[in-house]
């Protein structure tokens, strides 16, 4: 199936103009929030475009629900204390959530820790930050095309409830997660392992759990214990055999990550394809209900639980990655490579959610660095990315794509866009040291 990506040039020119900005940020997830707030606080006129009616991206709409990547991985979290290794905007947002009562203390997740957030509080904290920074936010708005001139970004065509409009800007930060801006500019992107990408998941919440009874059975680790895995392996209708359940800030409530979303025929889905994306949303509902029944029937403390809600949309782990000046390689992660051009440390494991047997590879008592130029496309002018669409090999992306790091990718992209405007410097010409110094 072929889709048309470009509107006629004369049509673009005839559209009413919404305004002119220094920087447009596409996508209101962690990377987009950090990019928009940071860029605006540097004195830029910033427009943030979000297709839904709130900020948070997959952390809220997909109900992924945890801030992952803040802490060092260790051999035994039962005897060690959480050691935070990433700060910057990630810490700023974490602290704001915690102070607002919307974040748990660190919870054990395998060989590291996560903190579970309340989605409603997340929306409010993100709204507070963007408003205080003076960011112009357009909700319920989709970018449908990019305006370019001689391979350089000049603006976008947007679709709102009032129709199509044009917006002009000096720079674009693509925080869409799917490299939408880069893709619509005609620049090179790739998908996963020769086109095979990770499965989406559907998160959901349940209430009225007897937490004392539940924790006594499940244990302190949020990842399913072996006795639960054994039961899941005997269930044909449940595709996930290892699941994650997170107590939230709300009494008697669990956030459930327990679905593996495929097509009804079992095929892997690519959510950049609208048919696959729609089927993912449908299939996920049945998977969530099947696991909820399993919980009530088999997990002590969940006998009288009720189903609160599904996430607004399936959680997407992977789609397009850009062809960047630098590329995070699988070996960089496995060998814990340290770099002088680093914008973020990462100790999060490689988590691959596709195929018959998912893979987790822990980076115990160590971390690797993500280089700045993974955010910069090799070609195309005046666009930079932030978030999971950075330039990375498949397995490396399965580690570097998580929330805490995405906050820092957004902050780095904002510094780069600001520097590009003020010094009339192309992203491709920037020395990483310039951005690294600003990240300190």
Is the pLDDT assigned to residue 120 strictly greater than 70? yes
Is the pLDDT assigned to residue 40 strictly greater than 60? yes
The packing angle between helices 88-99 and 119-133, to 10°, is: 120
The overall average pLDDT reported for the chain is: 94
Residue 216's SS3 state is helix
* Tens digit of each residue's pLDDT (9 = 90 or more) over 227-274: 999 999 999 889 889 999 999 999 999 999 999 999 999 998 888 999
Is the pLDDT assigned to residue 357 strictly greater than 80? no
CA–CA dist 79, 77 (Å, integer): 5
At residue 13, the pLDDT reads 78
What's the Cα-to-Cα distance from 439 to each of 35, 42, 342, 372, 410, rounded to whole Å?
Answer: 13, 13, 9, 11, 11
Is the pLDDT assigned to residue 356 strictly greater than 70? no
At residue 423, the pLDDT reads 97
> What is the pLDDT confidence band of residue 166, given thresholds at 50, 70 and 90?
very high
Q: Is 212 exposed, middle or buried (0-12, 13-18, 19+ CB in 10 A)?
A: exposed
At residue 1, the pLDDT reads 43
At residue 195, the pLDDT reads 74
Residue 332's closest CA among 279, 380, 368? Answer: 368
* Tens digit of each residue's pLDDT (9 = 90 or more) over 386-401: 999 999 998 999 999 9
At residue 200, the pLDDT reads 85
Is the pLDDT assigned to residue 337 strictly greater than 70? yes
CA–CA dist 412, 406 (Å, integer): 10
* Tens digit of each residue's pLDDT (9 = 90 or more) over 416-438: 999 999 999 999 999 999 999 99
DSSP conformational letter for 194 = T
CA–CA dist 280, 187 (Å, integer): 27
Tell how far CA 31 is from the center of its chain: 7
At residue 9, the pLDDT reads 57
Question: Are 27 and 387 a contacting pair, CB within 8 Å?
Answer: yes
Q: What's the CA dihedral at 236, 237, 242, 245 to 10 degrees? A: -150
> What is the pLDDT confidence band of residue 353, given thresholds at 50, 70 and 90?
low
* Tens digit of each residue's pLDDT (9 = 90 or more) over 41-84: 999 999 999 999 999 999 999 999 999 999 999 999 999 999 99
What are the counts of helices (DSSP H) followed by strands (DSSP E) for the chain?
A: 12, 20
At residue 3, the pLDDT reads 46
> What is the pLDDT confidence band of residue 205, given thresholds at 50, 70 and 90?
very high
CA–CA dist 313, 2 (Å, integer): 25
Q: Are strands 17-26 and 46-49 parallel, antiparallel or unpaired?
A: parallel
Least confident of 291-300, 352-361, 373-382: 352-361
Question: Are 171 and 416 a contacting pair, CB within 8 Å?
Answer: no
Four-residue CA torsion sign, 123, 128, 129, 135: positive
**Distant-in-sequence, close-in-space partners of 118: CB < 8 Å, separation ≥ 6:** 97, 101, 102, 103, 248, 249, 250
CA–CA dist 114, 252 (Å, integer): 19
At residue 193, the pLDDT reads 80
Which neighbouring-strand residues pair with 160? 163
At residue 360, the pLDDT reads 80
């Amino acid at each position: 199936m072929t889709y048309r990506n470009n509107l006629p040039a004369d049509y673009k020119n005839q559209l009413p103009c919404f305004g002119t900005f220094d920087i447009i940020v596409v996508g209101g997830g962690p990377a987009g929030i950090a990019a928009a707030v940071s860029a605006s606080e540097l004195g830029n006129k910033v427009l943030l475009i979000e297709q839904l009616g709130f900020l948070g991206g997959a952390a809220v709409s997909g109900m992924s629900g945890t801030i992952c990547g803040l802490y060092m991985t260790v051999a035994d979290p039962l005897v060690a204390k959480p050691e935070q290794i990433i700060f910057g905007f990630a810490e700023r947002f974490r602290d704001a959530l915690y102070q607002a009562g919307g974040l748990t203390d660190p919870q054990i997740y395998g060989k590291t820790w996560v903190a579970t957030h309340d989605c409603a509080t997340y929306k409010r904290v993100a709204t507070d930050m963007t408003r205080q920074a003076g960011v112009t936010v357009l909700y319920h708005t989709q970018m449908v095309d990019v305006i370019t001139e001689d391979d350089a970004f000049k603006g976008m065509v947007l679709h709102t409830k009032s129709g199509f409009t044009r917006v002009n800007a000096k720079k674009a930060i693509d925080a869409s997660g799917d490299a939408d801006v880069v893709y619509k500019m005609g620049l090179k992107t790739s998908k996963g392992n020769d086109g095979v990408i990770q499965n989406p998941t559907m998160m959901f919440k349940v209430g009225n759990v007897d937490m004392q009874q539940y924790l006594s059975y499940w244990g302190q680790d949020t990842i399913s214990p072996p006795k639960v895995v054994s039961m899941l392996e005997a269930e044909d209708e449940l595709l996930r055999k290892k699941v994650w359940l997170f107590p939230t800030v709300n009494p008697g409530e669990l956030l459930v990550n327990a679905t593996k979303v495929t097509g009804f025929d079992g095929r892997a889905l690519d959510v950049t394809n609208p048919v696959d994306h729609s089927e993912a949303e449908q299939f996920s509902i049945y998977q969530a209900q099947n696991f909820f029944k399993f919980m009530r029937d088999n997990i002590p403390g969940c006998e009288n639980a009720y189903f609160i809600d599904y996430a607004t949309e399936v959680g997407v782990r992977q789609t397009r990655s850009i062809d960047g000046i630098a590329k995070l390689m699988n070996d960089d992660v496995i060998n814990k490579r340290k770099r002088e051009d680093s914008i973020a440390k990462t100790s999060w494991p490689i988590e691959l959610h596709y195929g018959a047997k998912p893979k987790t590879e822990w980076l115990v008592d160590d971390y690797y660095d993500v280089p700045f130029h993974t955010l910069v496309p090799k070609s195309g002018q005046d666009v930079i990315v932030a978030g999971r669409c950075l330039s990375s090999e498949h397995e490396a992306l399965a580690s570097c794509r998580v929330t805490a790091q995405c906050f820092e990718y957004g902050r780095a992209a904002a510094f780069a866009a600001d520097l590009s405007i003020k010094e009339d410097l192309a992203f491709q010409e920037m020395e990483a040291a310039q951005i690294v110094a600003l990240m300190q």
